[in-house]
């Protein structure tokens, strides 16, 4: 009687422990979904379309700062061509990032964007971005890479400045390596 109850309790508790181990992994997709809904981690959405200026009358000025970093082992020079831009909600803008391959071989790179504060990510819409695809430069080659975007008018009032940062990572040539899709 006691013995079977003990076994039942033990089995239930082991199940709980195993379930919590699974829960740790379930947190990964949950986190991704949560971030898409809230912009928690500053991840921007993929390519979107532009429906033209929505409110031209708004005289609200938003400052966007551009930042560029190179990841570990990336032999590129990488910087924004303009460090900040004043925009009004609804207006479309294009800015360029400059990249040059300093290595003596062809290198492909993938840029990963990040917006701070995170909520602004939900209101930054990119029509065109070099981060949508991998970029490849031959030895010593340079290029300017465009980002076309607009900010919608729903950006929270307390955000007057936000930053858009790109980190360029070298793309591993080994097949099967997963790379950011945005």
Structural Rg of the chain based on CA atoms = 22
Q: Which is nearer to another protein, 44 or 167 (CB)?
A: 167
Strands (E) across the chain are located at 62-70, 76-80, 84-87, 92-101, 107-116, 124-129, 135-137, 142-151, 161-170
Largest CA distance in the chain: 79
In this complex, which beta carbon is closest to another protein, that of residue 35 or of residue 103? 35
Those residues with Cβ within 8 angstroms of residue 92's Cβ, 6 or more apart along the chain or in another chain: 50, 53, 127, 148, 149, 150
The single residue among 50, 116, 128, 148 that binds another protein, judged by CB under 8 A, is 116
Question: Of the candidates 67, 112, 127, 148, which one interacts with another protein according to CB under 8 A?
Answer: 112
What is the x/- site pattern for another protein, positions 135-174, by CB under 8 A? Answer: -----------------------x--------x-x-----
Q: Is 17 in the site for another protein (CB under 8 A)?
A: yes
DSSP-derived 3-state class of residue 12:
helix
Tell me if 147 sits within 8 A of 94, measured CB to CB.
yes
Binding segment toward another protein, per CB under 8 A, in 35-43, 56-64, 88-96, 136-144: 35-43
Task: Tell me: does residue 177 bind another protein (CB under 8 A).
Answer: yes
Where does this chain bind another protein (CB under 8 A)? 2-3, 5-6, 9-10, 13-14, 16-25, 27-28, 31, 35, 38-43, 71-72, 110, 112, 114, 116-119, 158, 167, 169, 176-181
């Amino acid at each position: 009687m006691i013995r079977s109850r003990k076994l039942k309790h033990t089995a239930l508790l082991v199940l709980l422990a195993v379930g919590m181990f699974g829960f740790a992994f379930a947190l990964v997709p949950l986190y991704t979904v949560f971030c898409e809904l809230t912009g928690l981690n500053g991840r921007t959405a993929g390519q979107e379309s532009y429906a033209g200026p929505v409110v031209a009358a708004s005289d609200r000025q938003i400052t966007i700062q551009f930042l560029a970093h190179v990841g570990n082992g990336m032999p590129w020079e990488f910087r924004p061509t303009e460090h900040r831009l004043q925009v009004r909600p609804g207006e479309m803008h294009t800015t360029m990032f400059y990249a040059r391959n300093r290595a003596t071989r062809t290198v492909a790179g993938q840029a990963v964007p990040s917006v701070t504060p995170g909520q602004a990510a939900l209101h930054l819409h990119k029509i065109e971005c070099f981060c949508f695809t991998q970029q490849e430069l031959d030895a010593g080659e340079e290029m300017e890479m465009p980002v076309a975007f607009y900010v919608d008018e729903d950006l929270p009032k307390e955000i007057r400045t936000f930053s858009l940062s790109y980190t360029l990572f070298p793309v591993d040539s080994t097949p099967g390596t997963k790379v950011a899709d945005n």
